[in-house]
């Protein structure tokens, strides 16, 4: 499934004896080995995960602590690199470094962070962005979002949880941030057998942080908000929506802190409405509008998004642009069918709220729902909503969310923009 073509110049993977590799404490790393049928070629070519049925699972491997480091060998005992092992996870090992002699510690972490920082400083003028996007930035399971002099770390893999003090120290050294939050919530940590906890591990966070983006001002709650407090991935899709919003009325459903609504106001929308189930998120959206001097142009409505769209239709409300950016309805393959039905329902309820010639933006952050499947579900829903459509733009996450070509899961966000007639 994740086999990659083999270029002629790829080395055969033979390396010095794995026993020579050492951890940051100077002790030799243990060795774990692939089963003969495992796809060592894909790992050599950059695939970062080893599944439980691909690794020899003897008593010693099963006894390893979650997040322990080891040298990975193929079935012929050729070293492939340093991995982190979690016997309790379906992803039993994650590749950290193709050099089997790599020392995984504060210096190694600092080097990876410096590489990630260099890219973001090339892309952005202000220090507000996703600094680390997990496997795509060479730090498996680690997400770090930066908010000026503050940063939020999500250590969603056991190795990062174990090395959190070194990771936070390296982050401060490399970036100069003085306030650091550890956000240990979410489905990914549960799959790794990790507890849920959120704590400030450096400095103080006394109030929501103002985040300038696309001319708007957002308020991010770094200690109590969803995920890291703000979704940077939608930045380019906010910018595209701004082109469509000028002078019109905008409805932002599943709005969180007003991502599309505030961007639309910054671009000259006549007014915007936010719908979300979270009262704290809507309060942050209203605070962002106040910070922009546009409080009188934003209305908020708390409640179930599906019920709210039905109610708005019953009220006869119509908008020049409607954007729906729901949570991941299909976070896994097992949830795919139900998720696609939910995306279709979103489109069906949203389509009648768009005025003639207006625009509908539909988003999915479910990696299990491929672009084709999401596009088909959206089109079916729009059709069932009684509207004809043109697909005018397909958007993805911004460049501070790079993708690893070998890992489809790293490219999760899709945004479809339609012009509706009829």
For tokens 């951890």, what's the residue?
A: 23
In the predicted model, is pLDDT for residue 276 greater than 70? yes
Single pTM value for the model:
0.91
Nearest-CA neighbor of 254 among 272, 275, 234, 233? 275
Query: Tokens for 15?
Result: 């390396």
Same domain? For 263 and 410 the reply is yes
For residues 385 and 98, what is the distance between their CA atoms, to the nearest angstrom? Answer: 51
Residue 333 belongs to some domain of the structure: yes
Label residue 410 by pLDDT band (50, 70, 90). confident
Same domain? For 112 and 244 the reply is no
Q: Name the least confident of 53-57, 365-369, 409-413.
A: 409-413
Same domain? For 248 and 392 the reply is yes
Active site residues: 365
What CATH number has the domain bearing residue 33? 2.30.130.10
The residue among 174, 202, 230 that closes a domain is 202
Q: Which range of residues forms the domain containing residue 294?
A: 213-421
Q: How many residues would you count in the chain?
A: 422
Residue 156 belongs to some domain of the structure: yes
When the pLDDT of each residue in the chain is averaged and rounded to a whole number, the result is 93
Three-state secondary-structure class, residue 131: strand
Average pLDDT over residues 38-53: 95
What order do you get walking across the sheet with 150-155 strand by strand? 128-133, 142-147, 150-155, 179-184, 197-202
The residue among 171, 202, 233 that closes a domain is 202
Label residue 25 by pLDDT band (50, 70, 90). low
In the predicted model, is pLDDT for residue 12 greater than 80? no
Cα-Cα-Cα-Cα dihedral sign, residues 400, 103, 228, 176: negative
Average pLDDT over residues 84-103: 96
> Which secondary structure element, helix H or strand E, spans residue 60, and what is its range?
helix 59-62
Name the CA dihedral angle for 126, 128, 134, 137, rounded to a multiple of 10 degrees.
0
For residues 6 and 215, what is the distance between their CA atoms, to the nearest angstrom? Answer: 46
Count of structural domains, the chain = 3
For residues 129 and 417, what is the distance between their CA atoms, to the nearest angstrom? Answer: 24
pLDDT tens column, 209-224? 999 999 999 999 999 8
Cβ atoms 11, 74 nearer than 8 A: no
Residue 267's Cβ-side half-sphere holds a number of Cα atoms within 13 Å equal to: 23
pLDDT tens column, 130-174? 999 999 999 999 999 999 999 999 999 999 999 999 999 999 999
Cβ atoms 193, 141 nearer than 8 A: no
pLDDT tens column, 328-340? 999 889 999 999 9
CA 167 and chain centroid, separation: 19
């Amino acid at each position: 499934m994740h086999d990659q073509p083999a270029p002629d110049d790829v080395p055969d993977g033979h390396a010095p004896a794995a026993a020579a590799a050492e951890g940051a404490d100077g002790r030799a790393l243990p060795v774990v080995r692939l089963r003969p049928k495992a796809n060592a070629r894909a790992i050599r070519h950059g695939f970062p995960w080893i599944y439980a049925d691909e690794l020899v699972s003897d008593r010693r491997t099963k006894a390893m602590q979650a997040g322990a480091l080891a040298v990975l060998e193929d079935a012929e005992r050729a070293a492939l690199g340093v991995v982190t092992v979690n016997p309790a996870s379906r992803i039993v090992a994650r590749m950290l470094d193709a050099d089997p002699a790599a020392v995984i510690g504060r210096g190694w972490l600092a080097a990876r962070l410096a590489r990630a920082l260099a890219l973001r400083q090339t892309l952005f003028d202000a220090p507000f962005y996703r600094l680390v996007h997990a496997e795509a930035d060479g730090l498996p399971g680690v997400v770090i979002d930066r908010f000026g002099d503050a940063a939020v770390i999500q250590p969603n893999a056991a190795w990062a949880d174990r090395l959190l003090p070194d990771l936070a120290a390296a982050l401060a050294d490399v970036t100069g941030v003085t306030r650091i939050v550890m956000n240990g919530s979410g489905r990914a940590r549960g799959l790794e057998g990790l507890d849920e906890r959120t704590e400030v591990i450096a400095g103080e966070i006394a109030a929501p942080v103002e985040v300038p983006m696309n001319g708007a001002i957002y308020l991010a709650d770094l200690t109590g908000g969803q995920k890291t407090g703000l979704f940077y991935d939608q930045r380019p899709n906010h910018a595209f929506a701004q082109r469509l919003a000028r002078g019109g009325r905008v409805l932002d459903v599943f709005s969180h802190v007003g991502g599309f609504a505030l961007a639309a106001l910054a671009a000259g929308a006549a007014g915007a409405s936010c719908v979300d189930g979270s009262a704290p998120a809507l309060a942050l959206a209203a605070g962002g509008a106040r910070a922009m001097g546009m409080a009188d142009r934003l209305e908020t409505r708390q409640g179930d998004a599906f019920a709210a769209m039905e109610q708005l239709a019953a009220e006869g409300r119509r908008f020049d642009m409607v954007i729906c950016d729901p949570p991941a309805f299909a976070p896994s393959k097992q949830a795919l069918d139900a998720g696609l039905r939910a995306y279709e329902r979103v489109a069906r309820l949203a389509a009648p709220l768009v005025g003639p010639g207006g625009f509908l933006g539909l988003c999915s952050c479910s990696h299990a729902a491929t672009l084709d499947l999401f596009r088909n579900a959206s089109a079916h829903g729009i059709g069932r909503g009684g509207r004809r459509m043109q697909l005018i733009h397909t958007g993805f996450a911004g460049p501070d969310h790079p993708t690893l070509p070998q890992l489809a899961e790293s490219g999760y966000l899709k945004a479809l923009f339609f012009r509706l007639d009829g």
